[in-house]
Structure 1
Amino acid sequence: MEQKTLARWLKIIIIGTGLCGIVVGAFLLPEIGSEIITAYKEFSSWRLPWLVFLWLTLIPCYAALAISWQIADRIGKNRSFTIENAVGLGRISKLAVADTAFFFIGNIVLWLCGWNHPGIVLGSLLICFVGIVIAVAMAVLSHHTRKAAALQEENDLTI
């Protein structure tokens, strides 16, 4: 696959992911919250804190999508192995760690405030695990991209 084709596909995936996030954040989460309140009236005071908390967790995800777009743009310009891409992947890794930590701490805080169930806190550990896996994968990709960029730069200097 050529670099421009790969970059185009990456951008389509990034746009699709962003649109899915908008649908989930703007429509699905409020609807699920309304359905829970309809079924369990005692949870009506939990809806707004949970919506705000979940919307806040989307912010680092969209920042990571913006960085991914920049990386895809450089890939399209046949600049896959650059320090800029390595730095971008490192930033995505840090965003994933920050979002995971915020999600975990937020769940604990909501639980301590009486707006969360212990079962939800335990279930959120799976989401935290996925966030850490993404962070580690991006850190590894950043490391290898940095090494590949150094090799490519050395190779370009040796004609």
Structure 2
Amino acid sequence: MEQKSLSKWLKVILIGVGLCGLVVYFFIFPSYGDSLVYSYPEFGDRYWPWLIFLWVSGIPCYAVLVLGWKIASNIGKDKSFSDDNAKYLKWISWLAACDGIFFFVGNVVLLLANMSHPGVALFSLLVVFAGVAVAVAAAALSHLVQKAAALQEQSDLTI
């Protein structure tokens, strides 16, 4: 597959993921919260804290999409193995790790504030695990891209 074609496909996928995220964050979460409040009116005071918490947890996800867009643009310019892409992947790693930590701490705080259920806090460990997995994968890719960029630079100087 050509670099430009790969870049276009990556950008289409990033747009699709971003749109799916908007649907989840601004349609599914609020409607699910509304149905919970309708079925259990005693949970009405928990709706907005949880919704705001979920919205804030989505901010790093969209920052990752922006960085992914920059990586896809560099791939389209035939700069797949560059220091910039290694730097973007390192940022993705940090954002994923921080979002996982934020999600876990937020769930614990909401649990201690009696606005959550212990099962929900345990379920948040799956989200934390996914964040850690993305962070480790992005860090490893960052390291490999950094090494490949150095090799490519040496190769360009040799020729």
TM-score w.r.t. length of structure 2 = 0.99
What is the aligned-residue identity percentage?
A: 54
Q: CA deviation at 1:40?
A: 1.3
- For residue 154 of structure 1, what is the amino acid of its counterpart? Q
Structure 1 runs (4+) deviating above 4 angstroms are: none
Q: Does 1:120 align with 2:120?
A: yes
Unpaired segments ≥5 residues, structure 2: none
Deviations 1:85-140, CA, capped at 9 Å, x for gaps: 00000000000001001000000000000101000000110111011000000000
Q: Distance in 2 between matches of 1:6 and 1:27?
A: 31
In 1, Cα distance between the equivalents of 2:127 and 2:57?
Answer: 12
Inter-partner Cα distance in structure 1 for 2:103 and 2:123: 12
CA distance in 2 between counterparts of 1:58 and 1:111 reads 20
Is 1:110 aligned with 2:110? yes
2:80 & 2:95 partners in 1: Cα distance? 21
Structure 1 residues not aligned, in runs of 5+: none
In structure 1, distance between residues paired with 2:3 and 2:151: 19
CA distance in 1 between counterparts of 2:114 and 2:71 reads: 42
Q: Which moved more, 1:58-67 or 1:36-45?
A: 36-45
In 1: Cα distance, 2:64 partner to 2:123 partner: 24
> What's 1:131 paired with?
131
CA displacement at 1:42 relative to structure 2: 1.4
Distance in 2 (CA, whole Å) between partners of 1:99 and 1:126 is 13
Normalising by structure 1, we get a TM-score of 0.99
Alpha-carbon separation, structure 1, partners of 2:97 and 2:130:
10
Q: CA RMSD in A?
A: 0.5
Q: Which residue of 2 aligns with 1:14?
A: 14
Counterpart AA for 1:111: L
